[in-house]
Structures are given as structure tokens and as C-alpha cells.
Amino acid sequence: MRYLLAIALLFALTNLHSQSLKDKLKQKKDSIEKAAKDKANAIITPTVPPALTNEEVIKGLKEALTIGTNSSSSVASKLDGYYKNPKIFIPWPEEAIDMKTRLTKLGMQKKITEFETSLNRAAEEAAKNAAPIFIDAITNMSLTDGFAILKGADTAATNYLRKTTYAPLKDKFKPVVIEAINKVKVTSYWKPLVTKYNKLPGVKKQNPDLEEYVTIKAINGLMLLIAEEEIKIRKDPMARVTDLLKKVFGK
């Protein structure tokens, strides 16, 4: 009888030890599987970036325009920056196109080309001093809903700049253009052409406002280049050269 009890007790102890070992192995297995799952989740689940604020978006848009302005004015102010760029080339004044046609027939093409060149040289000269004026307009630009512009067209920020600051921007930029016109002597190229034309019988006397014309064309050219820079920043991560631009346009 005692022998049977001893065997039963030994059997019970063996089963208990075996169950305990199984439990420990299961716990170990569960622990390993959980650790592996946690590690996989850590790799797969991306870190959620902090949400953008409207203030950050506004600063980012203005920074993009500022960088675009610096780059554009640098490009436009070089020799042939306007003259050899068909996108921003300043042509003969549209209102005096009949004058150009008649003078061409009179064999004055060389003088016409010299005059058109002088218009573009004036714009290139003015572009050297454009950046501070444009950046001041950008800095003081009233912008309340940054997200609307950020989510808008590829040139939405430039379009907004043009819409809200064009008149005061032109007023500040025009004296710079006038100085440039005088420096490259645009009038000296224009005067013999208009004098010759106005002496022709039956023609309407021509005297377009060259200062206004070059100012508008120069601004429009710079705006176009700024818009191209904005597109780059929106589409090309390499063009986002600051942390703020990466945060705002990297979304």
C-alpha cells in the first residue's frame, strides 16, 4: 500500500513539474513573440509628424517667396537675364507696333534692335536692386489663411503676392527702373526712332511712357521667375533648403 502511495505521489510530482515546465516554456515563447511583434510594429509604423499650425504655414509660404525672389532677381540681373530669356524678354511697346513696322521698312532694323536691347538692359539693371523691395512686400503681406494657399495651385503663393501687393510694389520699384533707364540710356536709343517716325506724313505721333512700360514688364518678369521657384519648392524636395520649408511643403 505504501509502495502504491509512493508511486502515485511520484507520478503527481512528475506531472506537476512537467506542467510547470510547459508553462514556463509557453511564457518564454509568448514573451519572444511579443518582443518580435513590438519590434516589427516599431519598424512598420511611421512616426507621426507634429501637426502644422497656420502660423507655420504662413511663415513657410513667405520664406518660399523670399527664397524665390533672391534666386529670381539674381538670374534676371545677369547680362541677358531678360534679353535672352524668351519668357521675360521685353519687346517693342505694343502700342507703337505700327511704328516698328514702318521703321523696319525704312531699313532701321539695327536701331530697333538696339532700342529693344536697351529696354531689357534697363530691366536687368533694375533687377539688381529688386530683391529688397520685393522681400519687403512679402514680409508685410497680409495673409490669414495659409492652408488655403498651401493647398492651392502650384503658383498660389506668387499669385497671392501679385494680387495683394502689385500696386505698392510698382510704386516702390519704379524709381529703381527710372534710374536704370537713365543708366543704360534707353532714351538715346528711342529718340532717333521716334523723331524719324513722327516726321512721316499721316502718322499718329508716338511717345509711349517708357518708364511705366519697363516697370510693368520688369515686375511681371520677376513674378514669373518667382512662380517657377515656387513650383520647384512644392515639387522638388531638394529645393526645400530650410527646415521650415521641409516641414511645410513636405506634407
* Residue 91 C-beta-side C-alpha neighbours within 13 Å: 7
Q: In this predicted structure, what is the pLDDT of residue 207? A: 86
Q: What is the pLDDT of residues 150-168, one digit of tens each?
A: 999 999 999 999 999 999 9
State residue 155's pLDDT score. Answer: 98
pLDDT over 70 (residue 15): no
Rounded mean pLDDT, 220-238: 97
Mean pLDDT of the residues in the chain: 89
pLDDT at position 14 is 55
- pLDDT value, residue 48: 54
pLDDT higher than threshold 80 for residue 117: yes
Q: How confident is the model at residue 43 (pLDDT cuts 50, 70, 90)?
A: low
User: Is residue 61 over pLDDT 70?
Assistant: yes
Query: Among the listed ranges 7-21, 112-126, 189-203, 208-222, which one has the minimum average pLDDT value?
Result: 7-21
The length of the chain in residues reads 251
**Cα angle value 198/200/206 (rounded, 5°):** 25
Q: What is the pLDDT of residues 69-103, one digit of tens each?
A: 999 999 999 999 999 999 999 999 999 999 999 99
Per-residue pLDDT, 45: 47
Contact 126, 173 (CB under 8 A): yes
pLDDT greater than 90 at residue 11? no
pTM, full prediction: 0.79
SS3 145: coil
